[in-house]
Structure 1
Amino acid sequence: MTTPADPVPGGRPGDVDRATALAGELAGRGVHGVVLAYVDTAGVGRVKTVPTAKLASAAAWGVGMSPVFDTFLANDSIVSTDVLGSPDGDLRLYPDLGRLTVLRGQPGWAWAPVDRITQEGAPHPGCSRTALRRIAADAERRLGLTFRAGIEVEWSVGRGDAPEGAFVPATTSPAYGAARQVELSDWSADLLAALAAQGVDVEQFHPEYAAGQFEVSVGAADPVAAADLSVLVRQTVRAVARRHGLRVSFSPAVLATGVGNGGHVHLSAWRDGTNLHSGGAGRHGMTPDAESFAAGLLARLPALTAVTAPSPASRLRLRPSQWAGVFTAWGREAREAAVRVVTGTAGEHDRAANLEVKPVDLAANPYLALGCLIAAGVDGLTSSAPLPEEVTGDPARLGAAEAAARGVRRLPTGLAEAVAAFRADALLRSALGPVLADAVIAVREGELAAVDGMDDEQVAAAYRWVY
């Protein structure tokens, strides 16, 4: 389970004894090292590792890391803000022992997400995992709200023997095709076995639309655990693929054209154990609070995309009529709307009802994405924001006058526009705090500068194997 407390020098209560016991258990299972995992502002997974015997020391005193990584770009260049980007200083990475997992796809290794604190023992204001935990805890304290979340993981499977830098699909079978599942049956079975051995609750696994594309959906969890699972699943997919001579990409746009890889977020708000998206008198069983929560998401989607679809490659995916949700519209089971209301089937509405947010991809730092989505939804709920008229079908087919009358707007078509909207959104910047919000802006502007002058093919190639 997710540890709810921030780390402290000397370790959280009981962590050192627990880590000592875990180290012995891990060694007995042939585990030699522990991956300490975090995601930077650019959405790139970064790690440090420790030998299993040093797990107790990591739990007590953390592992050193420079704050400069908060302003790394996807190409490993470094930008800066007024407080980040310097080569000076140090942070401490503390593993969340409640999430420690033995990696089936990487024999000899375990994995744990980390929280970061300063050398003085204060939470690091640039730690996205800490920010998400704080945002969720604040909503529970003030409003009695808890959340369940799940992040879909889509990726493209390529041949490991393809020319350097190129993507050659490992299967050429049709979208959603039975033949595609058969062609990669051994890899798929090993992946499912690895996820099951790691305690990942897989709901679905199937071939998807684009060339060589697959998707896995996992069970809902608290927001921090959901973000952790997104990181862990990708670690596992990569590792198992490599053992089969395959290479995978989670980039929003592996190729410059066609459907890209998404990371759709499913999110529901709960109070006193009751799902607010079910059993209400509102549309499709939503309570008034659930409708206002959805309205809050819709209202801030242009700014949210600076966090949920943050890469220059994201713009290659966010195209109309490709189920990417590029218009500020909502609807029940409406797969072209940015916010899809999922009611679930008869008999499970109270458990399954949720909102799916579609303009999200896996270039997003999942902790930042969930934190900002929750902040936007909570703001709508607390202000009793009215939910606009439902839109069915493809919003791209609406005429300009009708779209304007119904409040349907195209989401930013470029990252610069999204960054400008985020910069102007005081609520989202306040939710993250000034240090983290400024890092988001600086990194996005750095990514824009990095691709200046590139065409779509060059942008796709630049980010193909980053995520």
Structure 2
Amino acid sequence: MTEQAIPLNKIALDGMVSGEIDLVQMEVPDLNGTLRGKFVSAKKVAAGGKSAVCTVLYQLTPADDVWESEHSSYDNGFPDALGVPDMSTAIRLPWRDGMAAVLYDVVYPNGTQFPLSPRSVLRRVAERFEETGYTPMFGMEFEAFIFHADRGVLAENRHHELTSLGRMHNAYRLTQAEEARELGAEFIRRMRSIGITVEVFHTELGYGAVEFALAPAPAMQAADNAARAKTYFRELCAERGLVPSFMAKWKTDESGCGGHVHQSVWKDGENAFYDPKAGDDLSLVGRQYLAGLLAGLSDCGVLFRPTVNSFRRFSVQAWAPENVSWGYDNRSAALRVITYPTPNACRIEHRVPGADVNPWLAVAAMLAGGHLGIDRTLVPQRAAQGNAVKAGNFPRLADNLGDATEVFAASEFCRDYFGAEFVDQYAASRRVELQHWNDWLASEVTSFELRRYFETS
């Protein structure tokens, strides 16, 4: 058997057992979509050993502020849950000597799934979707801005003074893009070595802007691949004295960073969204799935736009959707239906998420909507023609973190599919994030106020 035919997780496991790999990077997703964890003895992981995971992990903001809930607090002593290695995700990291990585599920000490874990949430929805008899496939793509890292500038919060990678502002450039080209080539090769296919890497509109798209994969694998790709891209950039940003909108006069998700469902090896009798339209099950995505879109808005900054990308002028709409090859709509060039390419592109999205929660939200549509044989509204904001009476999406959070918290759809414990916890986490923003804003005299009132009051 050639090495290429040996599953990557078996290569990693064999290396752990033999001692060629002595350390494992334990990877645990938090509520913000970041991989956190520890370095663990490879022998322990190979034997299936569990590792303690403090429940406070699900109460850390992106800046590591700690907040309390019934799951983890001074009242209950911030208890541990258990991290269980998912050995199907074991990979050797070729660019790190003697090291592998494994994604972990989180369970209670009695072995039941911990309801706040994003992988638990996605698994809950994915198991329910299995009832339909279809296999969903998701392809995620991310935009980012890359800069030369200047720790002094970053420490002093002078981010807009960072020097971008490259000198050109144009998208899809091949000339004068040497640094981005070489970085992209190495990224593609690294991801290929761990079983993640980067189908496309190119420059985007903006100084230092790039985009990469991942090959379609089943729901859990697609989310795992997305989080790993972002994490390992950051590591690659750091090795080269660079720093990427996946913020939805890092600067008002630059493009936003999208995190679009392409999806379809398959049966018996064929794309079930395609129907030769439907012409350029989706199949019946495709239209039902589409209708379900639309039905759950507003309720899940905060899963797609999870921070205060996410809503700075809220503008159809930037091809970032503002309402619950869909259209054929229409980038102004929330859901872009693509039926060409081949039957296998027939899919729906979900354009609401930014690159700051938690991939497990985004996929869970979309899969829940698709299940709803198929289960209830829903019918989509008419497609938007032209600018989706001006075409038809499409409901507007919440345009700020506070409103989006409260819609989510009150949603029976979300409680049904994701579980009440998760919905309450996630809503609380967004309220905490919003409170940090409001506290900062209250403590600042902004440049707007100074320009407007300093000499005129």
TM-score of Structure 1 vs Structure 2, range by shorter chain: 0.7 to 0.9
Counterpart in 2 of 1:72?
60
Q: Deviations over 1:20-49 (max 9, x none)?
A: 634035x43xx4421111221133331222
Per mean C-alpha deviation after superposition, the further-off stretch among 224-233 and 44-53 is 44-53
- Count of aligned pairs between the two proteins: 425
2:132 maps to a residue whose letter is L
Residues 1:331 and 1:79: Cα distance change in structure 2 (over 3 Å)? same
Closer, same or farther: CA 344–49 of 1 in aligned 2, 3 Å: farther
Aligned residue number for residue 148 of structure 2? 159
**Which of 262, 265, 272 is the equivalent residue of 1:266?**
262
Query: Would you say 1:115 and 2:110 are equivalent positions?
Result: no
Q: What's the secondary structure of 2:83's corresponding residue?
A: strand
Corresponding residue for residue 390 of structure 1: 383
Secondary structure at the counterpart of residue 205 of structure 1? strand
Question: Would the aligned equivalents of 2:136 and 2:218 in 1 still touch at CA under 8 Å?
Answer: yes
Which residue, 425, 429, 438 being the options, matches 1:439?
425
1:280 Cα deviation from its structure 2 partner: 5.6
**Partner of 1:311: helix, strand, or coil?**
coil
Instruction: Give the 3-state SS of the residue equivalent to 2:27 in structure 1.
Output: strand
The DSSP-based 3-state class of the residue aligned with 2:285 is helix
When residues 322 and 108 of structure 1 are mapped into structure 2, their CA distance, relative to the original with a 3 A threshold, is: farther
Instruction: Say which SS state the counterpart of residue 452 (structure 1) adopts.
Output: helix
1:410 and 2:363 aligned:
no
Query: Using a 3 Å threshold, how does the CA distance of structure 1 residues 447 and 283 change in structure 2: closer, same or farther?
Result: farther
**Amino acid paired to 2:70:** D
Distance (Å, rounded) in 1 between the aligned partners of 2:212 and 2:265: 23
Report how far residue 108 of structure 1 moved: 4.1
Cα RMSD for the two superposed structures? 2.3
Moved more, 149-158 or 190-199: 190-199
State the partner residue of 1:233.
229
Aligned to 1:51: 41
The Cα shift of 1:234 comes to 1.1
* SS class of match (2:316): coil
Corresponding residue for residue 207 of structure 1 = 203
Could you report, residue by residue, the CA deviation over 1:42-87 in whole angstroms, capped at 9, with x for unpaired residues?
3333122213233224x2x311011121122112122333334554
Contact 1:96 1:112 (C-alpha < 8 Å) held by counterparts: yes
Residue aligning to 1:169: 164
- Distance in 1 between the 2:55 and 2:238 partners? 31
Does 2:340 match 1:344?
yes
Match of 1:129 in 2: 119
Query: Are 1:368 and 2:358 matched, yes or no?
Result: no
- Classify 1:285/1:296 alpha carbon distance in 2 versus 1 (closer, same or farther; 3 Å): same
What are the residue-to-residue correspondences of 1:267-282 with 2, within 5 Å? 267-279=263-275, 281-282=277-278
1:63 to 51, 62, 66: 51
Aligned to 1:103: 93
Residue in structure 1 matched with residue 310 of structure 2 by the alignment: 314
Preserved contact between residue 105 and residue 239 of structure 1 (Cα < 8 Å)? no
Q: Which amino acid aligns with 1:130?
A: S
Q: Deviations over 1:170-189 (max 9, x none)?
A: 22312212235324333222
2:72–2:78 CA contact under 8 A, matched in 1: no
Instruction: Say if 2:134 is the partner of 1:145.
Output: yes
- Aligned residues of 2:72 and 2:79 also touching (Cα < 8 A): no
Q: Which residue of 26, 49, 54 maps to 1:36?
A: 26
Q: Aligned in 2, Cα 1:248/1:423: closer, same or farther, shift over 3 Å?
A: same
Aligned to 1:452: 438
The CA deviation string for residues 198-252 of structure 1, in whole angstroms up to 9 with x for no partner, is 2221211101123311111111110000001001111221121112111111121
Could you tell me which residue of structure 2 aligns to residue 324 of structure 1? 320
Name the structure 1 match of 2:84. 94
TM-score (norm 2): 0.87
Task: Select which of 154, 157, 181 maps to 2:177.
Answer: 181
Q: Give the counterpart letter for 1:370 in structure 2.
A: V
Percent identity, please.
25
Give the superposition deviation at 1:454: 5.0
Q: Find the residue that maps to 1:237 and give its secondary structure.
A: helix
Cα distance 1:259–1:280, how it changes in 2: closer, same or farther (>3 A)?
same
SS at the partner of 2:38? strand
Q: For the structure 1 residues 355 and 20, does the alpha-carbon distance in structure 2 shift closer, same or farther, using more than 3 Å as the test?
A: closer
What's the secondary structure of 2:298's corresponding residue? helix
TM, length-normalised to structure 1: 0.85
In the alignment, is the contact (CA less than 8 A) between 1:257 and 1:316 conserved in 2? no
Q: 1:168/1:64 Cα in 2 relative to 1: closer, same or farther (>3 Å)?
A: same
Q: Which blocks of at least 5 consecutive residues in structure 2 are unaligned?
A: 1-8, 445-457
SS of residue matched to 1:290? helix
